[in-house]
Amino acid sequence: MIGDVQNPAPPSLDVRGVRYAYPDGHVALHGVDLTVARGGRVALLGPNGAGKTTLVLHLNGILTAAEGSVSVGGLTVSRDRDTLAEIRRRVGIVFQDPDDQLFLPTVAEDVAFGPANLGLRGAELAARVDEALAAVGMGEHRDRAPHHLSFGQRRRVAVATVLAMHPEILVLDEPSSNLDPAARRELAEILRGLPVTLLMVTHDLPYALELCDRSVILDGGRIVADADTRELLADRELLAAHRLELPYGFTP
């Protein structure tokens, strides 16, 4: 116990002073700092063009900061091949369109793809697939073709493909988009039950409140607010200043 106090687990995500400019000279991130503790649940909010996607692409090394650093579970993102492979295992990104992640003949094969690339085989691989599908309530659909599933079911399978890698942090890009109310609720129930650090990029402010106790607003490549989600959503002037709007009649 004393050792745990002296050597606490590193945060799931530690972004320090990250600056990034695109080749055309547009500066998308101006020295971003963001720390997410292990087990934390944070919503990343902001208008279109704020830099949210650019920041997410730094987390698994697709983009490399001109200045600053990104660490995941204590491991700093770098271009070293082995480090990059481990970072991409630790950072599970679920994209807005599940069809970007589902491309094999069956659900089970899609979920097995990542762990198989890590070298898992036989019973160990099968157990990893079963565990991930059970976590999203899709075990009974394991032998179906993904394109025969509903959009909400495909999104849940996309989450399973990431969970099968045992990530340090789950990054969700607009997880509630294009879902009907029942699928939206079902996904929220699943996400609430996952024992994993969560970073959720969303314009859906009620969903942020439902799933994340902390929210961060990124605008113009800078973090302009970082607070308890309910507190932040109650500040209508702040929301309006950054083109964020609550649904009509919704009060946090």
Every domain of the chain and the residues it spans:
10-241
Are 16 and 68 contacting, i.e. CB atoms less than 8 angstroms apart? yes
CA gap 136, 157 in Å, rounded: 7
What Cα–Cα distance (Å) separates residue 113 from each residue in 58, 161, 163? Answer: 23, 8, 12
CA gap 179, 150 in Å, rounded: 10
What are the tens digits of pLDDT across the range 138-156? 999 999 999 999 999 999 9
* CATH class belonging to 10-241: alpha beta
**Gyration radius (Cα) of the chain, Å:** 18
Report the sign of the C-alpha dihedral through residues 41, 42, 48, 50, in that order. negative
Residue 166: pLDDT band (50, 70, 90) is very high
What are the tens digits of pLDDT across the range 88-140? 999 999 999 999 999 999 999 999 999 999 999 999 999 999 999 999 999 99
